[in-house]
Amino acid sequence: MAKKKQQKTKVDAIAFANGERYEPSKVKLIKPKVPFEWEVEHHGRNIHVMSCKAPSVPKFEQWILLLSDVHIDNPGCHKPTLTRLLKQAVARKAAIFSNGDLLDLMQGKGDPRSNKSALKVFRSALLSEHYFDSVIDSTADYLCSSECDYAGTNFIALGDGNHETGFQSRREVDCNAHLARAIKSRCVSSVSAGGYHGYLRVKVQIGTSGYQNLIFTMKHHHGSGGGGLSGGTLDARRVFTYVNADLAVMGHNHASNTVGLATEVLSSTNGQYTIKNKFVEFVRIGTLKDEWHASGWAVERGAGTGPAPICQKWVRLFVDYEYEDKQKDEDGNTTRLRRTHPRINWEVTDAR
């Protein structure tokens, strides 16, 4: 007698997150549409290492979308811009890095800034007696939905901001750890909860045989204090007095700017020592929270600075070559350059 086939019970990740029985072999996680050309390792909460391959140097390109101060559960979050940027990130196979305050978490009980009336108009789903759970679930549902092309698969780290740490100090919950778990219960993702500051290191393997690794280092810190008229640009020189990185990024004050600087490095080749200038860059990422209205906290305290720009930042990594003098004329002017070794380069642009 033929055995009856056991009927398979389909339990999707969202249903499991809502309390249904957990059957690990039957949870259907959303996978990236196209396999990524990078992998991520997490060394604690504040060190993240991303590995890429560049079999063809001229064609190599890796995008990183930097998010900061999104305040996704706040009625002022500019959701259309966020959705557009997340879709672009998916199309570019970009890694998405959050530098803090992805969550707002201001409408909980006991927060003097809470305004439940705003939620009645903009975020009725958050008017729940389980406010924190509603924020986490609705955010993970959105990031792992077709609305943003399942961008949750592209996230690599969720850094803490003052909104997450403030909620944690009052409620004793690790907000980003909960969000990372919620994303992973819905889609295949390398995302991990990050710290208030830390490093992202990108290793690019050159050639098919992997004979050389190029290194790009980014320092991230959510930020502190206000920006004033300078928009926080004065922090650029201060940061590079203690940071050894190619790029340093901050948020917190909702300003958007980039500052290029130079630092000295001692270089040696075949026993010959030279002092070279190294280009480094400081970036304020911006915000997606529009709070410049007829009245309110931002308007009352921001008369001298005006509204914050609604934007984030793209980082495009690529590989080019160093050049050195090969031939000079009688006056010492370079007439011919010689291509030497490959180097990793980058450019930062506004994501709007």
Asked if residue 247 lies in contact with residue 346, where contact means CB atoms within 8 angstroms, the answer is yes
pLDDT at 347 over 60: yes
Report the pLDDT value the prediction gives residue 304, as an integer from 0 to 100.
53
Task: Report the pLDDT averaged over residues 317-340.
Answer: 74
pLDDT at 231 over 80: no
Residue of 278, 275, 285 lying closest to 348 (CA atoms): 285
The pLDDT tens digits of the residues spanning 197-213 come to 999 999 999 877 656 88
The DSSP output letter for 147 is G
Phi, psi of 110, deg, nearest 5: 95, -5
Which pair of tokens denotes residue 301? 């305290």
Report the pLDDT value the prediction gives residue 142, as an integer from 0 to 100.
95
The DSSP output letter for 289 is B
> Which carries the bigger pLDDT value, residue 40 or residue 112?
40
Mean pLDDT over each residue of the chain, to the nearest integer: 84
pLDDT at 1 over 90: no
Which pair of tokens denotes residue 188? 């295949």
The pLDDT tens digits of the residues spanning 283-317 come to 999 999 998 765 566 656 655 577 889 999 999 99
**Cβ partners under 8 Å of residue 129, min gap 6:** none
Task: Report the pLDDT averaged over residues 211-217.
Answer: 89
The pLDDT tens digits of the residues spanning 272-284 come to 898 989 999 999 9
H helical segments located in 57-187: 79-91, 116-122, 131-143, 162-171, 175-184
Instruction: Report the C-alpha gap between 325 and 338 in whole angstroms.
Output: 6
Report the pLDDT value the prediction gives residue 10, as an integer from 0 to 100.
41
Asked if residue 155 lies in contact with residue 147, where contact means CB atoms within 8 angstroms, the answer is no
Asked if residue 97 lies in contact with residue 64, where contact means CB atoms within 8 angstroms, the answer is yes
Lowest mean pLDDT segment, chosen from 57-66, 231-240, 293-302, 326-335: 293-302
The pLDDT tens digits of the residues spanning 3-17 come to 444 444 444 444 444
Return contacts of 235-242, CB within 8 angstroms, 24+ apart: 235/282, 236/261, 236/282, 237/261, 239/282, 240/280, 240/282
Number of neighbours of residue 94 by Cβ within 10 angstroms: 25
Bridge partners (DSSP) of residue 344 are 319
Residue of 37, 34, 16 lying closest to 25 (CA atoms): 16
Task: Report the pLDDT averaged over residues 87-102.
Answer: 97
Q: Between the CA of residue 5 and those of 1, 2, 8, what are the distances in Å?
A: 12, 9, 9
Asked if residue 213 lies in contact with residue 206, where contact means CB atoms within 8 angstroms, the answer is yes
Report the pLDDT value the prediction gives residue 232, as an integer from 0 to 100.
77
Which pair of tokens denotes residue 203? 């290793």
The pLDDT tens digits of the residues spanning 129-159 come to 788 998 999 999 999 999 999 999 999 999 9
Instruction: Report the C-alpha gap between 194 and 189 in whole angstroms.
Output: 15
